Structure 1
């Protein structure tokens, strides 16, 4: 359930959007002639998703003579920061990619800004193509909490986090591939001994908080995740899992596994440091996989975080249809094409994690490994979503507080107190 504070915040956003609509002369600027599908997404053109969606656009236009897709490039930050205002105006696209979770798609669904896709999901069979773990982020209840209720988005790929490691650097220093957390810490000790910072990290964005969340997950179970993400019980940031995560993360900074200077580093910089062969280890998502395939010029591999059944991961970002979309049927058709075998197989062979591909059609060896590891994680119910999802605004809190852990300006206990306070402001605890 959501707090009164969050309901009032949501109402304020709706009110501000209503004022915007009035300023724009209202949201109904005339019906579409059905010849253009306005589409927003923020995938890079060389990423697995970008390649697949570009092919889907070609397929769509071939199947809809006289209709053109007007793709408008938007960054993740642009969509994240302006979605509520834009979707409440006459400038809303017909279909867009949007982040999943309570604090994002869930909040927009609660505000009435997204189209209910429940009937289309059943009619077109999307509900049958998605596994239970992936489907969680498609549905939201009346409070905007994921996991049940109406369909407001469709993920046509999945994602999960893993350990990327530079095999050449491991060989250079005579270090074996880690099979356990003990092996991993021993490997990091060895790199530090050789004056090499083991972990690529980005304190200014999502990467650092995902390291910390993974440490917590290694001491957690599914009920812990459900309490935290779905409000199915009380979340205590001073429990064994969170305490272990915060103290271990701070200890890793002291030991030199994580550079203090990484507090201001962005994810792109961390990823590039791995691509350039400077960082031997990077823990991040499958969204990097295709890029590493095309840009890394050394031998590298991946493995799931050792000694943990859980890892950050979920269905991918959602295709959502704004309430003010003028071409909803065309939008549904486009989603359907991205769920087709042709597009799903292409996605899989380009380094993505498809949700409805033909397993025999995936021929790239690295892609096979990527999908196999996802199936292992998903098969043990190990997708644990992401740390910033539970409440609106929590992402920024996690960034700023985790930066303090990296710089040493805040101790683990104070860090956990800050998270508890922010979390409690955004969620009614049962």
Structure 2
């Protein structure tokens, strides 16, 4: 039979008893992709998951004998094995369609790249682990309600893990080892774990979606989910809310803000006679110093008042380690000042876990700023990690300032221990502000 064009659903005959469409025409030639069966499965998936229809029909099919089953790349191409289509029942193929498009809608490739950078995960084994974790995230609400559950589907219970968690949470709970040996075959493509494959067409290949097109598809799917509340599983409803209100990559923003502040005029600059200035040739007999950029010194003020939770203090220690990486890993150039109503000693960073975060009283980060600025040598950058319930210095410090704000649901109506009507000042205009954890 003549294969149909990708993206065009086949013309069904009378539906089968279970409600799935029958495929018109004769079986496909052995060794070729049975597109009629594949597209009938997609049509069935769109009927039982109508809120995903826009995404399902946005995928462009590429026949490939190098993929074990079906896989997707980050440009919304779906690579399909003809042998897999031949041996898989149509009802199960519909579930695979939903599975693969779920990777793309939930941006598993972008999230895998971010996790790899943040946790310094490298190599194919770690990317396989990300693929497994991504499958755990989506498979707990893919099947049922019209989609058959294939035998051997990858689910959290295989490793004794709880359902309804995110990929990032699962990654913390298992490693590559004997328990995952039987999952080494798994390969959902770069759309699942961010690692490009040799058989993928890449960014310059045909029929890929642009970044704007991908965002448009996600937005329309999110509209379909939020427009009919109660019809989609909890995981999809949570995703749709985040699609309308995407979280900031706050750790990247914080690192970028520190690097930007450290590289500004006057940040980490000093004169040295170790390398004479080039303009010395214009003044015979005189050696002029050259301007040298040294690694910046960073002072981190951590709000330890009673309004900051233990979890936020733990997060602050993680941010201290990230700040050290943002300035080249020189921990000896990073100092930490714990501060509530008064400032503690400024301590050089050896290990983030070894910094004593004492406090628990009221809040006045002005004391922390004063302590940081009085240290010698003086810092090039000050980073304040706080919930915002504090007065701020009345004038701009003589160095760059970055403020990392812990989330507060009612920050505009925040209060301190002594005055329930007190509304704190917002961070000053001279500080670069990054919302942490939102």
**TM-score bin (small chain):** under 0.3
Q: Which has a greater percent of helix? A: 1
- TM-score, with structure 1 as normaliser: 0.22
Tell which has more relative contact order, 1 or 2 (C-alpha 8 A, sep 6+).
Answer: 1
